[in-house]
Amino acid sequence: MNNDPRPEKKVAPTPLDHTPPPGGPTLGAKLAAEGFGTFLLVFGLIGTALFASHFADAERAFAPGIVYVAASFAVGLAVIMGAYAFGPISGGHFNPAVTLGLAAAGRFPWRGTLAYIGAQIVGGLVATTLLVLIGLFGPPGWLPAAQDGGFASNGWGALSPGGFGMPAAIIIEVILTGLFLLVILGVTHPSRGTRFAGLAIGLSLTLIHLVSIPVDNTSVNPARSLATAVYGGGEALAQLWVFLVFPLVGALLAGFAYRALFDGEATQAQPA
């Protein structure tokens, strides 16, 4: 019996609670939410990049750097929207690296990772497929030009907007995916989280894109990389492995590190 007259402090659930209570949404609902959320992210990001780039080239309306800024904010807004719309259903991962990083941190069951990743991949592929369908009815030559340009795929060398090499792509993907996971784990912590988790995560992804689009077009999300590479041509597919492997490496390192560094509990010495 609790004799403390003070009311018990309750922690408000965050929009991205990765451990929904028993009796919550069904597995089918969670997978559908992951698919729709990943669709929103990829469609918003890649649609902005492709359509804005074409407009800039055709009309000479603004510099390529403005396209990078537009794409960065588009993906941040998409994640914020998805977090608050679908996060309460599935946890709002929308990214295989996030799913595995959360599992490494002990915040998501390993047995559920494959199903989530499958739903994310499907959502991303549907998004780019619909962009191709839109392109079929676009201006003459738009779709071939978009595919010849890599279809906003990730890459290094000739596919890097700034001409960076493969080691640069590997390093930046590990670092930025790891930092992204640390932000997610911090703002969605069961006892230290915040109601503004979705906003913080979306803005952090915007920052990540502002930093790394010139290096490799920014992955930090294997589902996004796969979804564009299938329409980006042979070179994009040949370089895809980097953007499947190293975001996962960064996420796993961050997940294990967060669990070891920040999830320990202080113990109080018992009186003699």
Q: Is residue 249 part of a domain?
A: yes
Please report the pLDDT score of residue 22 as a whole number. 56
Rounded to whole angstroms, the Cα distance separating 259 from 86 reads 25
- Lookup: tokens for 116: 């989530």
Predicted confidence (pLDDT) at residue 230 exceeds the cutoff of 70: yes
What gap in Å lies between CA 138 and CA 85, rounded to an integer?
Answer: 30
Mean pLDDT across the chain:
89
The reply to whether 38 falls in a domain is yes
User: Is residue 97 included in any domain, yes or no?
Assistant: yes
Number of domains present in the structure of the chain: 1
pTM assigned to the model: 0.87
Inform me whether the pLDDT recorded for 18 exceeds 90.
no
pLDDT value at position 9? 46
Which CATH number belongs to the domain containing residue 221 in this structure? 1.20.1080.10
208 half-sphere exposure, CB direction, 13 A CA radius: 27
CB atoms within 10 A of CB 85: 16
Overall average pLDDT of the 82-106 stretch:
96
- pLDDT tens digits along 166-183: 999 999 999 999 999 999
**pLDDT reading at 56 higher than 90:** no
The answer to the question of residue 16 being in a domain is no
Q: Among the listed ranges 33-42, 62-71, 209-218, which one has the minimum average pLDDT value? A: 62-71
Q: Which of 266, 207, 219 is nearest to 244 (CA)?
A: 219
Question: Whole-angstrom Cα distance, residue 127 to residue 138?
Answer: 17
pLDDT in tens, 115-124: 999 999 999 9
Q: Where are the alpha helices (DSSP H) in the chain?
A: 27-59, 64-90, 96-104, 113-136, 142-148, 166-187, 197-216, 222-232, 234-262
Inside any domain, residue 271: no
pLDDT for the residue 53: 77
Residue 129 belongs to domain spanning: 27-259
Q: Which residue has the higher pLDDT, 44 or 3?
A: 44
